Each structure stands twice: as structure tokens, then as C-alpha cells.
Structure 1
């Protein structure tokens, strides 16, 4: 395929008499034609960097995206920016069946007349761009990635297509990768042979076939490898394995919830499996902390004291040691907690209610931090949160 794409770029460059590049939707360079050594002197800084590094910077990607290249269905021109070392470009969207697979870029110095899109050279270049789209649509995992996102929301046709390609009874699991505050890198390729990935809001869903339904270790290993390539503070969640693709929505909720917990529970960070969440599996089902405990939650010292004391099974000695306070100070704080909440801390039910709301508050605070970087539609946001 690489040779075929290179031939397309060479021919488009010849047709429009301009240096040409082919990039995928992540702005990863796939092929280029400089039209001989003498053409190298006409390259702008952005294109030279793209050729040398096989990619573009985040700022460059945002600059070009601002001109609507991701929505374009026909040729368009992007302007020059002399201060940034950017020349004017002709952009030919590379699509197949309406889906964007990248762009053909030409440094034509503005010569191509877009007022007459049917002129022979431009019309043939557009046909070649469509051919590049057909080729890119056949890349391994390309169709799987397109079907994965709707399958997570329960789209039956997409689920059936995935099942046909993977096998109806193949053991699979889902991984939710939750990037840190810096967000997802512009060029993302999940590690691991056979993995399929799709962006879901600020998260990445990775569908992974497994050798055995009772063994999610390959998914944990993939998650650990992926986190090395994501920003600091990133976490991952692994769903319980199932056979086939029928349970992908449920598995996605499990993976998202496990990644949420890994972000707030150091003992489970940075990769948490659904099967190891324990009581957190009940906490993630809650809509949020009980409003009846709002007064306590406004006091960070008492909130921390209550959580440590409960996590240490109500042991004054262990809780005081972890909090680095005198035991009498701990008793005083517990009295204040009882007064603020109206709970009987000697009652198991009251202690359970308090523990659940404290963990729910921690989880909600972690979710709020991730939502500051969330993007996309309501449907995407719902998938991101694992709404039920």
C-alpha cells in the first residue's frame, strides 16, 4: 500500500506542478514528493519539519484545523502566515464513503484556480485523492476503529461487523485510557498487535482480543505500555473479559469506571481492572455523594480524618498514626464528624453510608478534573462517563 500511496502523491505533484504530501487525520506524514532537489528550497518550515519528523506539532495542527479542513469535501486553500514560516497550500481532502482519511497538501504558490474545479489537472488530482481514500480505508484495523465507537453505544450493525471480523466467540476485553491534564497526543497509535482503538471524548477505547477469557493480563500489559506514551497523571481501566462483542457497552462502562477509580485511588493506580475494584464497584454506581453530608465534605480536615479512620477499620491507633496526630485529637475530630452528620459512628450502617459518600465525593472530584478537558457531543460525553 505504501508504494501505491507514493505513486499517487508523485502523480498529483506532477499534475499540479507542486510539491505534495499525504497526511492522515492525525497529521502523520504518509508520503511526499519534493519534485527534485531544486524544489527543496521552496519548502516552508512546517512542511520541512513534517518530512523530517513524519508529523506536525499540535499548534500547527490546530492552525490548519481552524480553516475547516476536517469538514471539507472538496479542494480548499489555506492562507500563508509569513511570521510562522507557512506558505499558502492547496488542500485536497482524502475521503472514502464520506469518512475522512487524511489530506493531500500541495505547495502550489496559489497557482491552482479553485473557481474551476473541473479543470483537467485538478479533476484528476481529486480522483487520485479519492483513490488514496479507498486505499487508506483498507488499512488493518481501519474499519474496526470506525465501528468501535458506535458499538460502545450499542449500535447493533457496528457490533455485528466487529464480531464478524474478530469471531463470534473470541475472548475480548476493553481498555479505557484516560490521559492526564495535557490530553491525548496528536498522533496516537495504541501498542499491541491486534488492538483496535477509537477516541471517545478525551478518552481512548482499545478493543483487545485475548487468548483466554479468564486472563486479562495482555490488556493490563497493553495499558501499562500505553501509559508510558501518555502524559503524567494518565490512568487506564480494564473491563472484565467476555466472549464476543455482544457486551461491549457494559465492558466500556466497566473500563471507564476502573480508569476513574485508578485516578483517585493510589492503591489501584495507574491501571485498575474491574475485577479488583472491590467496594469501588458499588461506589461507581452512585450518582454522587449524599447531600446530607455536605457540611462534612466542606471541611477537608474532617473529611480526610473520616476516610482514613474508616479505611483503617475504625482503628484509632492505626488512623492516628497515618494522620500523624495524637489519639485524643482523633477522638475530638470523630466527635465533630458525628455532630456534623448526625451519625452514630458505632453503628455499622451509619459507617457504611459515610464511607460510601466519602469515596463518591473523591470520585466525583476526579471526574470534575477530567471534564475540564472533555470535548464533543452529549452522546460522546455520556460514553466518556459510562452513563447507564
Structure 2
């Protein structure tokens, strides 16, 4: 018998409309029942999820711990509810809920026939959850092969994923990656939770199907769409997970080539970790500029001695931090003194004084384009290496 059949059978036995939730309070099934449907039940059915208030009441009244059915009384004008935990081998797999008759006896809620029906539902939900886990693991394995397999494997897996509908067909495919923790040690469990939340969030606002997995402690999400910097930032912020970061790769026209987008997304994620002041918690490949190259350097191993002599001298003087910031602003603004002064909110005479001081310390001509390029790059590397 299907889950819908089991739910309908239980509803017929007790003569009341029934709703069944899984352990996460998602609506799994509900019975068809003649007569008026109460507003609360209709709202749950339409939203496909139990309310936060309902979850709290189930915990408060011990329905998750009680061996049998529990009556949750009238609260805030909502009708009373009978709630019983569904179990399999002692583990809660879901809940069944219905509005009781006014003359319903407590012993009727736990009659042998009703207990038997609940046991069947509990076993069915356990099997359903196991199938979902197996399916998710299978998709994760395929996704990993798509990203890390050889060219032949990628072709086969991409074709299989598209034909089976495990990812929606699209004109472009992109990768987002998520991590929690530092660059050396990432929390795989937290990253898995982040990618699950991200997928759930994306699924709630888009109809197309995405792929997900966790590889080496980093959550990976393949979407049939482009990644925009603002949407990625909004997504990370909506997850409310401390320390979460995200990176986005550029789109590819073919699913088989999406491993290239994943590589870019990883570099963007690394850039966000190296310079959170510039990027915040997220970065996208298309916005990286020179950091596409610099974020791939082993900057964690660099010391002050690895920088050009002029920059070493500049960073070591007492006012080095301020002078370095002035030089970087000057170079960022194309050596335009007027624009640099506006950026720094200082008078041009103050800027000229600082530039003369910088020329003296670094021992170089700032009008030389090659010198400016060297200094600009060295300052950026110093920032990524956290040497300034």
C-alpha cells in the first residue's frame, strides 16, 4: 500500500482528516475527507510544511517523546490537535496530526488498530527517508564524477544527469562553492549544511533543479543559471550561518565543462577568505581582476622578505601603513592626484607631501609605468599575504 493509501486508511479508521509530516515537519501526505476543511489544515497543506509554532507546541507537549497520541489544546483560536509521533525501531520518523471530535475518548486515540496504522506509517517514512538518502548519495557520487572525472567520464555523467532530469536543461551552467572554517581546515559537516540550506533557498525561488555535493570539506552547488555577485551575497546572508563564505564561477554552455566553473569558484572563494575587507563573505570570478592570478599563489607561505625592497622599506617605517594606503589609492586612481585626493578626503598639497615621502622611501620614480605596476602588484600581494 502506498503512503497515501496508508494515510487514507488511518483517516477512515478514526473518521477524521489526517495530515502526516516527516521528521523535519514537511507535509508527506494528507487524507481526502468530505466536509469543510479547517483553515489551519488548509494552510499547512498549501504550504507543504508545518508552522514554527506547531513545531514548538509538539515539543512543548511532549508529542515527540510520548509513546502514544497527545492532545494539544486550543491555543490562540486554533482548534485542538491530536499529534502522535511515528516511529521505526524506536526512532521518530514523522508525525500524524488531526482535529479530534468533541466526544473522542483518549483511549480511542491509542486503540490497537490505530497503533498498527501508525506503526505502518512510521516504517514507511523510515523507508522513504532511506531511499532519499540513497538517492542523494547517488547524485552526490555522480556530481563528484562530473567535476573530477576524466573527459570520458564527464561526458557520460553529464548525459546521464540531463536525461534523468537530475539537473534541469539550460543554456548555461555555473558552480557556487561554500565553506565554513579557515583555508587549511574546513568543516565538512557545516559546509554540507550550508549547501543544503542554499539549495533549499534556491529551490524556493526557482523552479529549475540543481546538483549538490561536498568535496574535501567544501560544499559544491551546480546550478542551471549564471552566478551574480549580488545574488550570491544575498544567498549567503539569508542562510544566517556564522563564518560561511561563498565563491562563484563563470557560466559554461555545456554541463560537461562545468568543472572549469568549479575551479574558478574555488579561486573566488579563496580570494574572499584572503581579503574579506574587500570582498566580504563572497566573491565571484568575474569580479576578481588580477586576484584571479594572485589568489592562486601560496601567499600563506610568504614573508616580508618576499616583497620588493621598496615595499619592504615602506611597510617598515612608522607611518608605513598610512603611506601604503595612500600609494595604493594613488595607483588605484591611475596616478591621478586630484581624484586620489578626493578619494582620501585630503588636500592635494597633503597628497603631494605624502607622495614625495613615498618616493624617498621606496627609492623609485612613480612616473615610471613599470615601477607603478611593480608597486601596485606588491601591495596587493602584501594584502593577500596579510603582511600589511
Query: Structure 1-normalised TM-score?
Result: 0.53
Q: Which has the higher contact order (CA 8 A, sep 6+)?
A: 1
| Aligned partner of residue 241 in structure 1, secondary structure | coil
Q: Which has the larger radius of gyration?
A: 2
Contact 2:177 2:248 in 1 (8 A): yes
Question: Which is helix-richer, 1 or 2?
Answer: 2
The reply to whether residue 324 of structure 1 matches residue 322 of structure 2 is: no
CA apart distance, 1:321: 2.6
Contact 1:237 1:260 in 2 (8 A): no
Deviations 1:108-141 (A, max 9, x none): 999777xx9x963343223432564488679xx9
The reply to whether residue 21 of structure 1 matches residue 19 of structure 2 is: yes
CA distance in 2, matches of 1:28, 1:295: 59
| Aligned partner of residue 330 in structure 1, secondary structure | helix
CA distance in 2, matches of 1:301, 1:137: 55
Structure 2 residue aligned with 1:124: 120
Deviations 1:252-297 (A, max 9, x none): 3422443675897999999965355331112322545966488799
Which of 205, 209, 226 aligns to 1:219? It is 226
Q: How large is the RMSD of aligned CA atoms in angstroms?
A: 6.5
Query: Structure 2-normalised TM-score?
Result: 0.53
CA apart distance, 1:357: 2.3
Contact 1:12 1:128 in 2 (8 A): no
**Distance verdict in 2 for CA 1:229–1:6, change over 3 Å:** farther
**Distance verdict in 2 for CA 1:8–1:143, change over 3 Å:** farther
CA apart distance, 1:62: 8.8
CA distance in 2, matches of 1:77, 1:155: 51
My pick for the range that moved more, 79-88 or 32-41, is 79-88
Which of 90, 102, 105 aligns to 2:84? It is 90
Structure 1 residue aligned with 2:295: 284
CA distance in 2, matches of 1:88, 1:155: 52
Q: Which runs of 5+ in 1 are unaligned?
A: 95-99, 210-217, 365-388
Q: Which runs of 5+ in 2 are unaligned?
A: 101-105, 164-168, 181-193, 240-244, 305-311
Contact 1:220 1:271 in 2 (8 A): no
| Number of aligned residues | 328
CA distance in 2, matches of 1:127, 1:353: 63
